[in-house]
Chain A
Amino acid sequence: MSASSQTFRLAPKAGLGGEIDRDKPLRFTFNGKSYQGYAGDTLASALLANGVDVVNRSFKYSRPRGVVAAGAEEPNAIVQLGASEAAQVPNVRATQQALYEGLSARGTNGWPDAQRDMMSLVGKFGGPFMPVGFYYKTFKAPASLWMTYEKYIRKAAGLGRAPGESDPDIYDHMNRHCEVLVVGAGPAGLMAALTAAAGGVRVILCDEQETFGGSLRDRDETIDGLPAPEWARQTIERLAAMANVTLLPRTTANGYHDHNFVTLHERRTEHLGDTAPMVDGRRRSRSRLHRVRARHVVLASGAHERPLVYAGNDVPGNLLAGAVSSYIRRYAVMPGRRLVLSVTNDHAYRAALDWQAAGGEVVAIADARANPDGELVERARAAGIRVIAGSAVIEATSDRKGHRVNGARVAAIDIEGFRLSGEAEVLACDTIASSGGYSPVAHLAAHTGIRPVWRDDILGFVPGQAVDPVKGFSVVGGAAGVYALPALLEGAAVKVTQALAADGIHVDASEPPAVESIREGEAIGLYHVPHDKPTMRAPKQFVDLQNDVTAAAIELATIEGFESIEHVKRYTAMGFGTDQGKLGNINGMAIAARCLGQTIPETGTTVFRPNYTPVNFGAIVGRHCKELFEPERYTAMHQWHVAHGAKFEDVGQWKRPWYYPQRVNGKLESMHEAVARECLAVREKVGVLDASTLGKIDIQGPDAREFLGRIYTNGWEKLAVGKARYGLMCKDDGMVMDDGVTTCLGDNHFLMTTTTGGAAAILEWLEIWHQTEWPELEVYFTSVTDHWATMTLTGPEARNLLAELTDVDLDRDSFKFMEWREGVVAGVPARIYRISFTGELSFEINVQANYAMQVWESLFAHGNKYGLTPYGTETMHVLRAEKGFIIVGQDTDGSMTPEDLGMHWCVGYKKPYSWIGKRALTRSDTRREDRKQLVGLKPLEADVVLEEGAQIVFDPKQAIPMRMVGHVTSSYYSPTLERGFALAVVKGGHKRLGERVYLPMADGKTHAAEIVSPIFYDPQGSRQNV
């Protein structure tokens, strides 16, 4: 394709096409066909330049659709972007997609493509049977067929498609803080930023478009003697030179959150290619989310033009008036040859003037006002343009396929009476541009709950009063309904000056630039153009183009009793699309208001929500994905575990060795085999566990002991220095929340251990009680979880092995069970605790983590002859379960009291202070005898390992629903006992030892088991006490 395909591109001329670079032609494909455009084009402008009318098919009726707008409000030109599978981007607005070499896009709807769509037949012939809400009324019978119907409904759903492969690009976030954030870099935003910057404070100015300048890019007024686009360019340069100003072009403010937190989405490479190009061999993010906390937010987001709603207003060739100017002035593209303009205001006359100046034919301007008389009207008349006062385009006619406008029916209208007041005249044309007025972009303000307020003078909603009294917020320019350039520039400067003054920052508000002012006549409100037929019978008049919501649909919704605008929205899907109703909502609300006999403010608006324009998930996720999705916490021995083939278990964020499969006869052990080997090694020889992940809290202060007594269920007043004790913690509802061993290091000094998962929560638990309830207790808590590396050496040979490495006297009488000692292990100062979670003779060696590997490796250097075996959490679980030791969170679920666990020995009912959890234990429900209680289960068949989570019944013969009396909490095969065994909770279980229970399983089998004591191994505890 050559440049000559760009039949709608204007010849070079001063003031036209300021944003394209004709020296940089770019090739792109659309629906598989190749075209050419220029650097600086948007995909939309390039398509228009090439005379592509149909860019997509509509959602419900599959009607051909063309470009209507030039910015974020575009509802039709929604394309699927991307040449490769991984680079697919669904639902890109062609009006906001910069052209790049090799860009490949297709319309999102239409089969085989938008031009030759087959689905349109359904739309054409099915349309009459698909009024708003039709699916609620049908597809109900027979009930069994609904899922089939739904499959077809779904097929028709959706716009673009998700990529089939993972995103090759990366995204990132930048946290920013500033005194003034200005959203929108049109005249108002530029002026606001200039003023704020003069105050020396940090200013961020962002604009969603490729280029700063906003509406100035489409204007020919002079500002300070410069053409508007030139003034904008120079102002931007001034700002760029200031150190306190950050300029973010191509950056959309998407969400305005509480307390002036604003998310800005900066598209950094989308204009360069499908995927982000590398720079100097380094990756860069495709887009970046700026998370901005601003002292003051200035909304300078301008106003969106409202199209008029008339029959056939969706056929390609119907555009917004302002968009016509934008395409001509920015891109030197004529979106047609012969224009009919239908307006309600002076401002939109520019479209006709621009059209004519560019060499197009202006057939007529239909002006809904009886006596238009502003300066621009006069200019148009003077230029020989026919102005038909008191009229509007009531219908666009089109070619047979509906691919392009071929005429406009213009008629005199009676707005008040909502009817025609004259005969319609047909004007041949290929383009209809309309302007029904302007809606201030109040979206962002609404995000934080600022309700829009209707203003009769400007015929639009503007943001209301801010709700947060602390943070600053102001609205300037078009967003505030201030449209005249002089007033808008001055207003922006004044508002920002005042805002800064409130913070004690003084700026000398420099004279606003001199602008010629243009006298504008008063605009008139027109939201729905009457037709010769009643709305329900007229050809479709579209309100929401993307969702195919017509004026008739809105009327029908109100007929059917949907009187709230929120109901209308949900019944018709108005504003649900990717454009969120930027174009159609206000018209739709006004139509609903008329149908209901209300005023527009009575009917009100629906709620604007983030995002202002859609943002891809990846950008919101930033770098919190893949390997950085969530931290992996490592112990000091982690690399050793990796090197020794450990399989890991996720416990909270920690990676814990789960088991260490060995290669036996060339084959890697299964978990079952590895665990059996590890278990036997511990029971018969010696094993070592990396227990570093247990939470550890250093507690110091004269009231430390008292504090422990209040927090734990059991007593601490008598625990002597040098001793350790197991403790149980409850919440104040009496339910067990954590456990662990706490050691008395000194009279005022304890070391508490917690479960791995509970560490952070328990530290906060201690703090909350201390800080809020018992501030008088003199005690401090400090986490030392990461400081200490912990190795549990356990098994009959533990003492012999450790003795080789330490100076501590390990003799059973001098270093007793539940005591701790300090000494040196493998040359490293250590604290050794004689506590046991396996039931075997155990020594927990704690050293400062940097020295851990020295000790760990020394253990192995000396341990071989004792059969030292590393073991993981699975083996630990088997061993502790054989001993009936609970795991909080596995054998408990937040509904178990210490009594339920059979741990009354760990409850100090006589303690003077009513410790946390005590009172709740005497409530009627916690005193019930038939509570679920922890017991052991012995499957009758020894080789059966019950399923963890299996439900228990007393009577296996009963019908479903069965009465369940408990469930299995822990269940393993014990290589020591050579049988399966389990811990379980059973109603009244403590009094049912010896009874039989049943476990009916999914495979139809029912297992039988005997209720036994939860201690399966060495009930006297003689092995740990040797």
Chain B
Amino acid sequence: MSKVVQFDPHPAQAAATQSPLHHVAAKPAVGETGVTLTERAFLDHLIVRGEPGVLAGAVEAVLGLELPTQPQRLARNETGSLQWLSPDEWLLIVAGGEGFRLQRELREALGEAHFSIVDVGGGQTLLELSGKHAVEVLMKSTVYDVDPRHFPVGKGVTSVFAKATAVIRRVDESRWELVVRRSFADYCLRWLLDAGEEYGIAHQPTQPAVASHRQTVTDTETVS
């Protein structure tokens, strides 16, 4: 496997970073807080594409995760999360700065097989929604059936979100995650704050406040 270049987007030294929502100030709920919205910025997001048979072994070896081959499944461990997006497409989210190393290890493990891994971390961000009215806010926003009876923990889907799209995932009993595109993030946030107003919605600033810089400085950016 030589014919694809990999690129580490993170600076060697800490650099000023801006999440897509850097310009939106924190806002407490009016009255009792029924929903809390937190941006989890600066994570590394990778799109992994390939046949499950091709990917499963390498994924298991490098990430310690079983490749979720059932539709709408979300697998997680301390390294990160891996979500089924389509029969040959997964979303891998790991700590900021980890993506490059993991991609390289995956590429090495996969060798000459046909697959693709693309860093999309600058292009999307993750919003966390929690609180007792989180489901209602989602019901106002997406056509997908988010009723906990239909949407157990460990599920993740891509669906319509207001007039944008989002990856919607349920990470535990009380927390939901939305992965939205950078350019739509401001719109999605404004939508959520508006939808949540009646329940008392609090918006917390970007977490973490600064991005981690490059974890391992490699000698060459191009894996060949």
Residues of A within 8 A of B (CB): 172-177, 202, 279-285, 291, 293, 623-624, 627-628, 630-636, 639, 654, 693, 698, 700-702, 745-749, 778, 780, 782-789, 822, 824, 827-829, 831, 847-854
Contacts and interface: CB of A to CB of B under 8 A. Distances in A.
Given A628-B194, A633-B183, A701-B116, A851 B15 contact: yes
Nearest to A654: B183
Given A634-B183, A786-B183, A828 B118 contact: no
B60 interface: no
17 contacts: A176-B139, A202-B149, A281-B30, A632-B187, A634-B20, A636-B122, A693-B183, A702-B114, A778-B114, A784-B119, A786-B123, A831-B7, A848-B119, A851-B11, A851-B16, A851-B17, A851-B122
A971 to B, nearest CB: 31
A372 B195 CA distance: 59
B108 interface: no
B140 interface: yes
Contacts of A788: 122-123
B124 interface: yes
Interface in B87-124: 88, 114-124
A787 B123 contact: yes
A722 to B, nearest CB: 10
Contacts of A850: 17-19, 41-42, 121-122, 211
Given A628-B191, A778-B114, 15 more contacts: A174-B136, A174-B140, A176-B139, A177-B147, A202-B147, A283-B198, A628-B162, A634-B20, A635-B183, A702-B3, A783-B123, A786-B183, A849-B123, A854-B16, A854-B17
Given A175-B139, A851-B15, A782 B122 contact: no
Contact of A787 (B12, B22, B121): B121
B15 A827 contact: yes
Nearest to A629: B163
Contacts of A291: 143
A202, A624, A631, A853, most chain B CB atoms within 10 A: A631
A822 B218 CA distance: 14
A780 B10 contact: no
A632, A787, A850, A853, most chain B CB atoms within 10 A: A850
Contact of B11 (A634, A822, A827): A827
A497 B152 CA distance: 27
A782 B187 contact: no
Interface of B is mostly: loop
B92 to A, nearest CB: 13
Contact of B13 (A701, A827, A852, A853): A827
A700 B136 CA distance: 40
Interface of B: 2-5, 7-13, 15-20, 22-23, 30-32, 41-42, 47, 49-50, 88, 114-124, 136, 139-140, 142-145, 147, 149-150, 162-164, 181-184, 186-187, 190-191, 194-195, 197-198, 200, 211, 221-222
A630 B31 contact: no
Nearest to B31: A280
Contact of A634 (B117, B142, B186, B211): B186
B2, B12, B140, B222, most chain A CB atoms within 10 A: B140
A745 B4 contact: yes
A774 to B, nearest CB: 14
Contacts of A173: 140
A700 B42 CA distance: 25
A285 B195 CA distance: 10
B123 A829 contact: no
A853 B16 contact: yes
A957 to B, nearest CB: 52
Contacts of B140: 172-175, 623
Contacts of B114: 701-702, 778
A623 B191 contact: yes
Nearest to A823: B221
Nearest to A178: B147
Contacts of A828: 11, 15
Given A202-B149, A784-B120, A822 B42 contact: no
B4 A749 contact: yes
A176 B144 CA distance: 9
A281 B49 contact: no
B116 A628 contact: no
Contact of A853 (B4, B18, B121): B18
Nearest to B1: A748
A619 to B, nearest CB: 14
Given A631-B187, A828-B15, A854-B17, A849 B150 contact: no
Contact of A631 (B10, B182, B184): B184
B16 A849 contact: no
Contacts of A279: 198
Contact of A175 (B30, B32, B142, B200): B142
A789 B121 CA distance: 12
B200 to A, nearest CB: 7
A1011 to B, nearest CB: 41
Given A174-B140, A177-B147, A829-B221, A700 B11 contact: no
Nearest to A855: B15
Given A628-B187, A824-B11, A284 B198 contact: yes
Nearest to A642: B23
A745 B221 contact: no
Given A281-B30, A785-B123, A700 B4 contact: yes
B5 A745 contact: yes
Given A631-B163, A633-B183, A854-B17, A782 B120 contact: yes
A700 B187 contact: no
Contacts of A172: 140, 195
A847 B139 CA distance: 36
A177 B139 CA distance: 10
The 4 closest A-B pairs by CB, nearest first: A786-B123, A848-B9, A787-B123, A748-B3
Contacts of B115: 700, 780
Given A633-B184, A702-B3, A829 B195 contact: no
A24 to B, nearest CB: 26
Contacts of A635: 183
Contacts of A282: 30-31, 197-198, 200
B9 A829 contact: yes
Contacts of A749: 3-5
A850 B126 CA distance: 13
A631 B163 CA distance: 7
A632 B23 CA distance: 15
B150 to A, nearest CB: 7
Contacts of A778: 114
Given A746-B5, A748-B3, A851-B17, A700 B147 contact: no
Contacts of B120: 782-784, 786-787
B5, B7, B42, B197, most chain A CB atoms within 10 A: B5
A824 B217 CA distance: 13
A944 to B, nearest CB: 39
Nearest to B181: A786
B2 A746 contact: yes
A780 B113 CA distance: 13
A784 B4 CA distance: 16
B190 A628 contact: yes
A632 to B, nearest CB: 6
B184 A782 contact: no
A747 B4 CA distance: 7
Contacts of A785: 123, 183
A644 to B, nearest CB: 14
A829 B4 contact: no
A174 B11 contact: no
A633 B42 CA distance: 19
Contacts of B17: 850-851, 854
Contact of A624 (B122, B139, B163): B163
Contact of B190 (A627, A848, A853): A627
A636 B187 contact: no
B163 A283 contact: no
Contacts of B147: 177, 202
